[in-house]
Each structure stands twice: as C-alpha cells, then as structure tokens.
Copies of this chain bind each other. A is one copy, B any other.
Amino acid sequence: MGYLTDKFFNHTVKARHVTFILTLSKWILWGSIIGIVVGTTSALLINLNDFLTDVREANHFTLFFLPLGGIVIGYIYMYYGKGSRKGNDLILEHIHHGQGEVPLRMGPIVFICTFITHLFGGSTGREGAAIQMGASISEGVNRLLKINKIDRRILIISGVSGGFGSAFGAPIAGTIFGMEAISIGKTKYEALIPCFVASFVGHYVATAWGIQHEHFTIKNIPDINTINLIKVVGLSIIFGFTSVVYSQLRHEIKTLSDKYLKNLMLRAFVGGIILIGLTYLIGSRDYLGRGLPMVERAFEGDVPTFAFLGKIVFTAITMGTGFRGGEVIPLFFMGATLGNTLSTIVGLPTSFLAAVGMIAVFSGAANVPISAFLFSLEIFDGQGMSYFFIACLISFIFSGHHGIYAAQKIYEPKS
C-alpha cells in the first residue's frame, strides 16, 4: 500500500477512531440522561414557583410566616443538610478539589427550601435551586454508573449547564455557563460535549413540559457611534461596581451572621423579621419574591429611582441569612431598574439601558462574561450585540475578583 493508504488504515488510527466514537457516545448518552432529568425537575421547579408566587400575591398575610419558614429552612439544613448548605459553592469546591461530596439530598432539599422562601416572600430567584438539583442529579448518575473521578467532575459541570439552560430557556448560554462559572480564569473545554447535550436536551425537555420563558423587548437600539459607545462603557463600569456592592453586602451579612447568629434557625428567623420590617418601612411589596413584574416595568416605563438599591438590600438579606432560591433574577432586577434610572440622565433609550444593565450586572456578579453575552443574544434575539458584548466584558473587568460564588477559583488575575 502507498504512503497515504498506510496512514489511513494502520491500527493505531483505527483504534483511535473506535475510542473516539465510544467516548463521544458515552458523553452524549450521559449528557442526555442528565438533560432529561434536569429539564423535568426544572419544569417542576418553575411551575411550582409560579404557583406559590400567585398564592403569595393573593394572600399578603403569608409574609408573616417568613420568619417561621426561615426556622424550618434552618432546621432542615442543620439536621438533614449533610453539608449541602454551602450550595453552589459546594459544587465549585467539589469540582476544583474533589473535596466536599455533593450529597444527593442537596437537590430535593434546595427545592423544598426554595418553595418555602417563595411562598413566604423571600427576595430570591430560582436558578440556584435548578443548578444544585442539576449537580445532585449528575452525582446520582455518577454513583449509579460508578464513574471515575475525572468524568464525575465533568458530569457535575454538565448538570450545572443543564440547570441553567433549562431554567432560563437559554441553551447556548447554558452550555458555556457550566464551564465558565466554575472558575474565573480557566474554561474547561473538555466538558464541552456533555454540557452542550445536557443544556439543549434540558431546554427542550422543559419546553416539552410546557414551560414558557419571559421575553423582554428592547424597543430601539441606539446607533453605534463614539458617543454612545463611551456612554455604554461608562455605564458598564457602574453596573460592574453595582454587582460588587451586592456581592460584598451579601458576603458581609453572611460573615456577620456566622459571627453573631451561629444557629441557622435563629439566623433565618431574624432575616425574616428584618424583611417584614423593611417591607412595611418602605411600604412596598415590590422587593419580595423574584420581582419579575418590576423587571418588566423597567423595560416599559418608570420605576422608583432607587429600586435597584431596594433589591440589593432585600436579596442580600434573604440570601445572606440562609433562605434559598437563586440570585440571577434579582441581579436582573437590580440591573434593569438601575439602567432604567440612568437612562433619563444619559439620554439613551430606557428599554435598551434596562437590558444592558440587566445583562451587565449579571456578568459582573457571576463572573461569566461570555455566558452573559450569549444569554443576551438568546433573550433579545441578537439585537444590539456589540453593545452587550462590550457591557459584559467591561462589567466583568470592573467587578474585580468579587462575585456571588465565593468558591470560584481565580486561575489568572483578570488584568
């Protein structure tokens, strides 16, 4: 045989091709299993959360049970948590160091606690629950199939991707989110295939269960010119700092609680009392729950000037004292309302700046510039993509090494 045919038909090449197909099939299979299960649980989470939110809004008195709900949540994590209290940070630690087993119960527990938080008005989202459920399901698959250590980590990352993709109806952003959220400095490309499969399958399964996601409309995108670019850069720096204010405040509240309110039940009870007090102090229930109506208002018309600050305080207290849910929708709230407030000052269209703020604060707080950008493409149909790309990067850079995930590993300094 000739030179070329030799190369094409020798054994090593053949063996390599077989390995390739086997490994690929394995990742596709596992990614699909995770996607199907995570998509289903996310659909359950979203439907039940929507229902509980309706119940809460129809029955204002439920808020008074928030401190009691806090005691229940504290009790569950103290006596049945098995370390799952650390939530997303536990997942990150497990992936980085192989430390801190992801307990199977993490998923069900975070679901129950998220439902309690939502029913009684805690200021929180839901994707934290979806992500933690994704990770526990992956861990279940791991144990069932006795998967080796390296593959285990990859599967957990793909659970995170599936959770994000299905919770937000954003499978492209979900694919990258799992890999990007794991660390600030390094993206784990080897996880690309299972993350991709889990995120897309998860999204389609959730859609098949009838889940519909919020859509926000940007009414007009300003022309790309030097002045507008400078404005967006400047505003993105502000959005980046806003994300730092939120994540630092939450960290401080948690640190203070660890110091002065060691008992988890007492801690959440106090958090609940403070939230009730604040609600009556400002005379508005807008900062309870996820706050999606306010995000919508930020795209449509006027919101209170300091609405963003209200959400920062409410969510930082909710999450800092041990309630459960997620921080992404609250971050959207902060960003969209701040963008709305700033739009009159800088003379850019309101819905445009609400969108930029929403995405940029998320990018900075979660340290996920590429996922945040991809998310903007998916929910705004690619409108104004250059602005969003710039906003995500600038906010990410100016948020420094702060972020909502304390256990993110910083491989390389951002600058």
Say yes or no: A190 contacts B385, CB within 8 Å. Answer: no
When all copies of this chain in the complex are counted, the total is: 2
Say yes or no: A186 contacts B187, CB within 8 Å. Answer: yes
Confirm or deny: A306 has a beta carbon within 8 angstroms of a beta carbon on chain B.
no
Given contacts A24-B397, A187-B187, A377-B377, whether A193 and B414 have CB atoms under 8 Å apart is yes
- B contact residues around A320 at 8 Å (CB): none
Could you tell me the distance between the alpha carbons of A386 and B381 in the complex, rounded to whole angstroms?
A: 11
Say yes or no: B190 contacts A23, CB within 8 Å. Answer: no
- Minimal beta-carbon separation of A298 from chain B (angstroms): 23
Interface of A is mostly: helix
Confirm or deny: A378 has a beta carbon within 8 angstroms of a beta carbon on chain B.
yes
Say yes or no: A171 contacts B386, CB within 8 Å. Answer: yes
Say yes or no: A415 contacts B377, CB within 8 Å. Answer: no
Could you tell me the distance between the alpha carbons of A4 and B413 in the complex, rounded to whole angstroms?
A: 25
Residue-wise interface mask of A (399-415) relative to B, using a CB-CB cutoff of 8 A (1 in contact, 0 not): 01000000000011111
Confirm or deny: A389 has a beta carbon within 8 angstroms of a beta carbon on chain B.
yes
Confirm or deny: A393 has a beta carbon within 8 angstroms of a beta carbon on chain B.
yes
Confirm or deny: A98 has a beta carbon within 8 angstroms of a beta carbon on chain B.
no
Could you tell me the distance between the alpha carbons of A378 and B171 in the complex, rounded to whole angstroms?
A: 19
Identify which of residues 200-253 in chain A touch chain B, using a CB-to-CB cut-off of 8 Å: 200, 252
Other-chain residue from B176, B256, B383, B400 in contact with A20 (beta carbon distance below 8 A): B400
- Minimal beta-carbon separation of A168 from chain B (angstroms): 14
Residue-wise interface mask of A (166-193) relative to B, using a CB-CB cutoff of 8 A (1 in contact, 0 not): 0000011001100000001111111011
Confirm or deny: A369 has a beta carbon within 8 angstroms of a beta carbon on chain B.
yes
Given contacts A187-B186, A189-B184, whether A172 and B413 have CB atoms under 8 Å apart is no
Could you tell me the distance between the alpha carbons of A187 and B381 in the complex, rounded to whole angstroms?
A: 27
- B contact residues around A413 at 8 Å (CB): 23, 190
Confirm or deny: A287 has a beta carbon within 8 angstroms of a beta carbon on chain B.
no
Identity of the chain B residue whose Cβ is nearest the Cβ of A26 in the assembled complex: B415
Identify which of residues 240-272 in chain A touch chain B, using a CB-to-CB cut-off of 8 Å: 252, 256
Closest 7 CB pairs of A and B: A382-B382, A190-B412, A23-B415, A24-B415, A187-B187, A172-B389, A185-B189
A-B pairs with beta carbons under 8 Å apart, 23 shown: A3-B256, A4-B252, A24-B415, A171-B386, A172-B385, A172-B386, A175-B389, A184-B189, A185-B190, A186-B189, A187-B187, A187-B189, A189-B411, A189-B412, A190-B415, A192-B393, A192-B397, A192-B414, A193-B393, A193-B414, A193-B415, A377-B385, A382-B383
